[in-house]
Amino acid sequence: MELVPQGTLAERIRAGGAGIPAFYTPAGVGTPIAEGRETRSFDGKDFLLEHALRADFALVKAWRGDRLGNLQYRRTAANFNPMMATAGRVTIAEVESIVDIGSMEPEQVHTPSVYVQRMVACPHQEKRIERRTLREGGAA
């Protein structure tokens, strides 16, 4: 198991998708996480070497995708899914709806089809995470 700050994790995934093998970050310098790892000083400040992350399979959830595999996300799905799709050797997208080619404007595409190898259509189902309960017969 490896403990990684969320920002560093995001950058490791992004770097993997961009083909960057490693990068330096100030996060973790001087902590037990840095013990035994390569550090380097730039302009008098120490940085820790972080290696990029690649995945054999990337599973992403998209709002919709066209038949070529271009994907569009909604809400918080746009936070990590686009970069994870680029870091996977095989990206499998679960999409709520598959639309015809040309249905999405180019500026609406968050992940281009070149990064997507498979799509699975899974229509949206409401996911209730809260249940409203009331006491019977009286005051709260």
The token duo for 121 is 């259509």
Say yes or no: 47 and 59 in one domain: no
- What's the pTM? 0.77
Among candidates 69, 112, 131, 128, which has minimal Cα distance to 94? 69
Say if residue 134's pLDDT is above 90. Answer: no
Render pLDDT for 25-77 as a digit per residue (tens, 0 to 9). 999 898 888 888 999 999 999 999 999 999 999 999 999 999 999 999 999 88
* Portion of the chain with pLDDT greater than 90, in percent: 71
Evaluate whether residue 126 is within a structural domain.
no
Evaluate whether residue 108 is within a structural domain.
yes
Q: What is the DSSP string of 12-24?
A: HHHHHHHT--EEE
Say yes or no: 31 and 78 in one domain: no
Say yes or no: 42 and 65 in one domain: no
Please state, in angstroms and as integers, the Cα–Cα distance from residue 32 to each residue in 2, 4, 11, 52, 53, following that order.
12, 12, 21, 20, 21
List the domain range (segments joined by +) for residue 10: 6-51
β-sheet with 22-25: strand ranges across: 22-25, 45-51, 39-42
CA distance 54 to 18: 10
